[in-house]
Amino acid sequence: MNCRAEVLEVSVEGRQVEEAMLAVLHTVLLHRSTGKFHYKKEGTYSIGTVGTQDVDCDFIDFAYVRVSSEELDRALRKAVGEFKDALRSSGSDGMGQISLEFYQKKKSRWPFSDECIPWELWTIKVNVVNLANEQERQICREKVGEKLCEKIINIVEVMNRHEYLPKMPTQSEVDNVFDTSLKDVQPYLYKISYQITDSLGTSVTTTMRRLIKDTLAL
Amino acid sequence: MDTDLSSQDRKDLDKFIKFFALKTVQVIVQARLGEKICTRSSSSPTGSDWFNLAIKDIPEVTHEAKKALAGQLPAVGRSMCVEISLKTSEGDSMELEIWCLEMNEKCDKEIKVSYTVYNRLSLLLKSLLAITRVTPAYRLSRKQGHEYVILYRIYFGEVQLSGLGEGFQTVRVGTVGTPVGTITLSCAYRINLAFMSTRQFERTPPIMGIIIDHFVDRPYPSSSPMHPCNYRAGEDNGAVYPSVEDSQEVCTTSFSTSPPSQLLGPGKEGGVPPVPSQPAHGTQADQERMCTPLDGVHYSAATPSSSEDTETVSNSSEGKSGSPHDLLETIFIRKVGAFVNKPINQVNPPDSPETESPLQGSLHSEGSSGSSTGNTHDDFVMIDFKPAFSKDDILPMDLGTFYREFQNPPQLSSLSIDIGAQSMAEDLDSLPEKLAVHEKNVKEFDAFVETLQ
């Protein structure tokens, strides 16, 4: 099947990377998590309850809703933390992307290993900007907040297209579709990966930086 | 066409739409309360968590929503709308958002009600949770308090967007197709937040608000009353709203993996889901209760009485001059005055008519500072200082006075020379008489001496 792919782009200051990424990833996972399945006899199952909580960002004028699951939050924070460190250590250009992929496992016969078939891919392209003074930072706080609001609206729009979702699995198949390792919620199987973009060329990077600075200066 | 939809499916669909509407209202109003919402995930399903989402039910909000719906469901031309507006402490108000739950005629006959529609409604609620945090009114509602409050109003019927000003924007939260129509949830929000001062405020039609410090419900016939979005779920409700009465209103928690899915709902006898914020009343009793208008009973924020008390005490203590003793005493006195309602004469001695009793003084001159500066102004009374450990209440004595008296005692009278000289002469004259008396009593003296030996 075709994998649905969505790309979001944000330009943020260094200290905003973590919160911006968490906001987007949590919003996607909110839509892609269900309660825990409890299978009963006769092929029926019941679903647990997903709680939600508000999160306020410290470095961005923004708030978002995430699933109430500490395990899930920890997993995302770990991935985003690694991405942030990689961005920081890559140099002052600070361009990279983090991807959240939902996949299904397909059991293969021996000797082949299980296939992972992605069905939805979210990519967030990040550009880290350096700001000179406090005024610019304040503007950045607000602008990034507004941008993230737009991103949330984009995500919700995609989610509500009701395009392909894996079929609800039987008990034996549930681990091929869902991540059942968490104790309170059950997201679809997902993996997070990232890559840091090396500077493609001085001219491109400087032009981008200048464009962003000009936007912020307005 | 209903022929394509089984009666069970139709009933289920109606139930889903009804509870979806109620939960939509809860999510919207709770998102405008001004506080962060947090609910817990639970791996074991409970019968009360519709759409597998932990969304608390504020009883008053459910009640208002049910009142607006009046037993109907959103249908073509009949939308359920939640209007969010801002009201300043001066009384100006402005509509911020209108959330609309609409139904159009586009039907999806193929869709499975009990499974797909249910799950998509759940997804739509999650989207609503996300979108309610990104419209401008969210940030405004988080800062509500003394200067302004956020109010909500639920109405059913035609959507009225005129109050949003020019150039309002619309965001679509999502749609869910059903066999009877497509449910659409959207929000129209004002972007021009320039306030009243720059334009004429027109009061047509007046929206009856409940201001946070008045709690007067003035129901207006043509428009439903507005309510503040500042419910504190932890408080006790003075008014009890009917809990979920319908015994069928336990949400579906079982799904089947095999299509076409049979709905295996949990038992429906008396299965009223427990709502945590409800007081423990049976549903029977609740049905008979009238829904009372909101009054100040369950809002304890900024109660005027408590602030007044602190104010008067601090006022009375502010007016103090002089030593800290005076300050202490005045506060002490005021407190006593508050609780004791008897005449003051019992406390202060009648012997000291010069000093007025402090309580009398403070009763006569209400709100006055009360402490003396020695002048005879009506507002100032002489207050005796009663030392804390002074035993003698009848003769209150200043410690300083006592000390001075102790230091300078009067001379013994017998030691004064004049008196001494006079008494000596008298003593000498009376000696013979005394001797005669003693001689008579010799025997007694002897007996006494013997007892000593």
Angle at alpha carbon of residue A104, lines to A101 and A107, rounded to 5° = 140
Closest partner residue to A184 (CB to CB) among B43, B126, B253 is B43
B62-86 pLDDT tens trace: 999 999 988 889 888 899 999 999 9
Residue A58, classed as helix, strand or coil, is: coil
Confidence of residue B410 (pLDDT cuts 50, 70, 90): confident
Number of other CB atoms surrounding residue B346 within 10 Å: 9
Task: Locate the chain B residue with the closest alpha carbon to A180.
Answer: B43
Set of chain A residues whose Cβ sits within 8 Å of the Cβ of B47? none
Query: Please, which residues have CB within 8 angstroms of residue B195's CB and are 6 or more apart in sequence?
Result: B88, B92, B94
Task: Locate the chain A residue with the closest alpha carbon to B185.
Answer: A160
Closest CA to A62 of A151, A156, A160, A192: A151
CA distances from A205 to A99, A197, B207, B334, B363 (A): 22, 11, 55, 74, 80
Closest CA to B27 of B101, B116, B93, B114: B101
CB contact under 8 A, B36 and A44: no
**Within-domain flag for A119:** yes
Task: Locate the chain B residue with the closest alpha carbon to A146.
Answer: B134
* CA separation for the pair A188, A34 (Å, rounded): 8
| Rounded mean pLDDT, B211-225 | 40
| Rounded mean pLDDT, B19-44 | 93
Closest partner residue to A27 (CB to CB) among B53, B120, B130 is B130
Task: Locate the chain A residue with the closest alpha carbon to B176.
Answer: A160
| Number of domains observed in the structure of chain A | 1
| Rounded mean pLDDT, B189-216 | 46
**Within-domain flag for A172:** yes
A26-45 pLDDT tens trace: 999 999 999 999 888 877 88
Residues 156-185 of B with CB under 8 A from A: 171-176
Query: Please, which residues have CB within 8 angstroms of residue A161's CB and are 6 or more apart in sequence?
Result: none
- Which residue range forms the structural domain that includes residue A78? 4-208
A172–B contact, CB cutoff 8 A: no
Residue A120 near residue A3, CB atoms below 8 Å:
yes
Query: How far is the first Cα of chain B from the last one, in angstroms, to the nearest whole number?
Result: 135
CB contact under 8 A, B52 and A160: no
Task: Locate the chain B residue with the closest alpha carbon to A184.
Answer: B43
- Check whether B45 has a pLDDT greater than 90: no
CB contact under 8 A, A64 and B38: no
| Rounded mean pLDDT, B282-302 | 35
Query: Please, which residues have CB within 8 angstroms of residue A149's CB and are 6 or more apart in sequence?
Result: A62, B134, B135
* CA separation for the pair B108, B396 (Å, rounded): 94
Closest CA to B34 of B177, B199, B152: B152
**Within-domain flag for A216:** no
Set of chain A residues whose Cβ sits within 8 Å of the Cβ of B256? 42-45
Helices (H) and strands (E) in chain A, counts: 5, 10
Q: Is the model more confident about A28 or about A95?
A: A28
B117–A contact, CB cutoff 8 A: no
Confidence of residue B401 (pLDDT cuts 50, 70, 90): confident
B40–A contact, CB cutoff 8 A: yes
Query: Please, which residues have CB within 8 angstroms of residue A106's CB and are 6 or more apart in sequence?
Result: A114, A115, A116, A117, A176
Residue A136: Cβ-neighbour burial (10 angstroms; 0-12, 13-18, 19+): middle
| Rounded mean pLDDT, B186-211 | 54
| Rounded mean pLDDT, B132-152 | 91
B261-284 pLDDT tens trace: 333 333 333 333 333 333 333 333
**Within-domain flag for A28:** yes
| Rounded mean pLDDT, A199-208 | 45
Q: Which amino acid is at A63?
A: A
Q: Is the dihedral of CA B372, B374, B377, B378 positive or negative?
A: positive
Mean pLDDT of the residues in chain B: 67
Confidence of residue A149 (pLDDT cuts 50, 70, 90): very high
Closest partner residue to B255 (CB to CB) among A47, A52, A159 is A47
Closest CA to A165 of A4, A49, A44: A4
CB contact under 8 A, A45 and B53: no
Residue B187 near residue B100, CB atoms below 8 Å:
yes
Confidence of residue B141 (pLDDT cuts 50, 70, 90): very high
Residue A70 exposure: Cα atoms within 13 Å on the Cβ side: 1
CA distances from B387 to A27, B336, B384, B391, B395 (A): 69, 17, 9, 9, 12
* pLDDT given at position B225: 67
* pLDDT given at position A27: 96
**Within-domain flag for A43:** yes
* pLDDT given at position B417: 61
CB contact under 8 A, A159 and B42: no
- Which of A37-46, A79-88, A147-156, B376-385 tops mean pLDDT? A147-156
Least confident of A98-107, B20-29, B232-241: B232-241
| Rounded mean pLDDT, A53-80 | 95
Confidence of residue B305 (pLDDT cuts 50, 70, 90): very low
Q: Could you tell me what percent of chain A has a pLDDT over 90?
A: 63
* pLDDT given at position B163: 85
Determine phi and psi for B116, rounding to 5 degrees.
Answer: -70, -45
Number of other CB atoms surrounding residue B259 within 10 Å: 10
